[in-house]
Amino acid sequence: MLKKITLFFLWVSASTYGQCYNGFQIGDYHVASIKSDGTLWGWGLSDIGQLSNTLFSNPTPFQLSPATDWSKVSAGDNNTFIIKSNGTLWAMGKGSYGLLGNGSTTQSNPTLQQIGTAANWQKISASTDMTIGLKTDGTIWGWGQNDQYEMGNNTCCANQLTPIQIGTANHWVDIETSRGASVFALKNDGTIWGWGLNLGGLLADNTVMARSVPTQLNTDTDWASIHVGAAHILALKTNGTLWSWGGGEYGQTGDGLSPSLYRSYPRQVGTDTWSKVFAGWKVSFGIKPDGTLWAWGRNDVGQLGIGNTTNQFTPVQLGTDTDWVDVVSGGAGNDQFTIATKSDGTVWAWGDNQVGQYGNGTVGNPVYVPTLMTGLCATLNATEFEQDNVFTMYPNPAKDVVSLAYNLTDANATVEVFDVTGRLIQNVALNSVTGSSELNVSAYPAGVYLVLIKQGAAVVSSSKLVVE
């Protein structure tokens, strides 16, 4: 028998609404993300159409398309690729060298357009002048500049204006590109492969020779993930250990060795295990299994978030919080910035903000430590919460059924429940101004959830719900 329980809604900060975004993708000066309702949003600079038809910097999120079926987004330096829920690929922004794959080399493409007719795209990784795509059938495709064998088909040097398959293998599981002309991919057998430019031995084969076709980097078969920055690589093994190679002039490899040394083969970074890492423009970030956040590398504008501008050659912890879940960094040179999220869905930013990359309405005023970004998903007015009896629910924590009671100003309100990743997991219609309803949470995994009560697009109440 289902047990009825009692809980009431408490007003939570607008910052909690950061969890309405399903992660963030960052280019040089722009940010793109998809909300839990399938809508596409962006902010920052759009000088060549990387954020649709706005040609100026916008420090607050704005919707890039009326469609509600967007699934995944990837940001290149100055362009944006988006995959719909039906597997089709769309793009906008910089198109020189055939970078967008639309058959053209037009520099500015401010109109969102479909790329080809394929409906099985899984992931896109865009470099400065070329793009690599992974399909759901395990094949890899490439387009754009090909002066360093980026297309991996043993040809050079004509640009490729539309996607072509790279090799014939169909068991690829991940792809990454450097800021230059290097491409990396992970197979389902735990091996890492690379091709294209091999500046300083980035392909980890102890040579500087370019590779014209996919070539296995080393003999290890226990790689779990690969993450590529401007000219350095972080890779996790299945046992959680972290390895790095490539350029380490600012400490971005994290191994504490001489900054002038270019690592041409993987070296282990410390002895700890990691759950997630990110490689950016000469910076690196990592999250450990205990939820702590660490940073190392270039830090001239506070992009590491450690409260100073000193480069770090080994991982340094950011504060003492233990609830970090994701981190991404963008920009180039001395214009770098970082965005991270916590398990409660809040969004934090630091580093450069000259064109409004934070997304909180501010421009300039960089910060050197993680700073809570409010207003990314909703702007709440305190007057909306003046009525104590607008909405109640009980109990909290809950195990099976949550009882709802409401006293609203309009009918046709909705109750929306989100998990900590920002995914909408339940929607309940409230068809009267005053009344009661129920949420069956017996199938929810134990954890923390965000519950919103909306009238149209306006949020009238919100609360955290704990399910045991």
Contacts of 168 by beta carbon, 8 Å cutoff, 6+ apart:
none
Domain count, the chain: 2
Whether residue 223 is found in the same domain as residue 355: yes
Tell me the CATH number at 134.
2.130.10.30
pLDDT at 390: 62
pTM as predicted: 0.78
**Does 424 or 49 have the greater pLDDT score?**
49
**Does 66 or 432 have the greater pLDDT score?**
66
Question: For residues 437 and 440, what is the distance between their CA atoms, to the nearest angstrom?
Answer: 10
- Whether 132 contacts 177, CB under 8 Å: yes
pLDDT at 462: 67
pLDDT at 264: 87
Question: Is residue 16 one of the residues assigned to a domain?
Answer: no
pLDDT at 422: 59
Most confident stretch, 128-142, 186-200, 326-340: 128-142
Whether residue 44 is found in the same domain as residue 189: yes
Question: Is residue 313 one of the residues assigned to a domain?
Answer: yes
Question: Is residue 114 one of the residues assigned to a domain?
Answer: yes
pLDDT at 382: 30
pLDDT at 100: 98
Question: Is residue 438 one of the residues assigned to a domain?
Answer: yes
Q: Name the domain boundary from 343, 372, 401.
A: 372
Structure tokens at 418: 């989100």
Mean pLDDT score of the chain: 86
Tell me: pLDDT of 105 over 90. Answer: yes
What is the percentage of the chain residues whose pLDDT exceeds 90? 61
Whether residue 112 is found in the same domain as residue 158: yes
Whether residue 191 is found in the same domain as residue 297: yes
Whether residue 62 is found in the same domain as residue 83: yes
Question: Is residue 459 one of the residues assigned to a domain?
Answer: yes
β-strand partners of 44: 30, 58
Question: Is residue 167 one of the residues assigned to a domain?
Answer: yes
Q: Give me the domain span that covers residue 215.
A: 21-372
Whether residue 436 is found in the same domain as residue 359: no
Tell me: pLDDT of 6 over 50. Answer: no
Tell me the CATH number at 426.
2.60.40.1930
Place of tokens 């059924």: 401
β-strand partners of 416: 427, 452
pLDDT at 215: 95
Whether residue 273 is found in the same domain as residue 407: no
* 3-state per-residue secondary structure call for the chain: CCCEEECECCCCCHHHHHHHECCCEECCCEEEEEECCCCEEEEECCCCCEEEECCCCEEEEEEEECCCCEEEEEECCCEEEEEECCCCEEEEEECHHHCCCCCCCCCEEEEEEECCCCCCEEEEEECCCEEEEEECCCCEEEEECCCCCCCCCCCCCCCEEEEEECCCCCCEEEEEECCCCEEEEEECCCCEEEEECCHHHCCCCCCCCCEEEEEECCCCCCEEEEEECCCEEEEEECCCEEEEEECCCCCCCCCCCCCCCCEEEEEEEEEEECCEEEECCCEEEEECCCCCEEEEECCCCCCCCCCCCCCEEEEEECCCCCCEEEEEEECCCCCCEEEEEECCCCEEEEECCCCCCCCCCCCCCCEEEEEECCCCCCCCCHHHHCCCCCEEEEECCECCEEEEEEECCCCCEEEEEECCCCCEEEEEEECCCEEEEEEECCCCCCEEEEEEEEECCEEEEEEEEEEC
Whether residue 287 is found in the same domain as residue 419: no
Closest-CA residue to 195 (of 242, 243, 142): 142
Tell me: pLDDT of 168 over 70. Answer: yes
- Whether 336 contacts 349, CB under 8 Å: no
Question: For residues 270 and 265, what is the distance between their CA atoms, to the nearest angstrom?
Answer: 16
Question: Is residue 256 one of the residues assigned to a domain?
Answer: yes
Question: Is residue 455 one of the residues assigned to a domain?
Answer: yes
Q: Name the domain boundary from 304, 339, 372.
A: 372
Q: Rounded mean pLDDT of 243-269?
A: 91
Tell me: pLDDT of 454 over 90. Answer: no
Q: Rounded mean pLDDT of 231-251?
A: 95
Whether residue 337 is found in the same domain as residue 196: yes
Contacts of 412 by beta carbon, 8 Å cutoff, 6+ apart:
429, 430, 431, 455
Whether residue 322 is found in the same domain as residue 438: no
Whether residue 280 is found in the same domain as residue 323: yes
Band the pLDDT of 375: cuts 50, 70, 90: low
Q: Name the domain boundary from 356, 372, 388.
A: 372
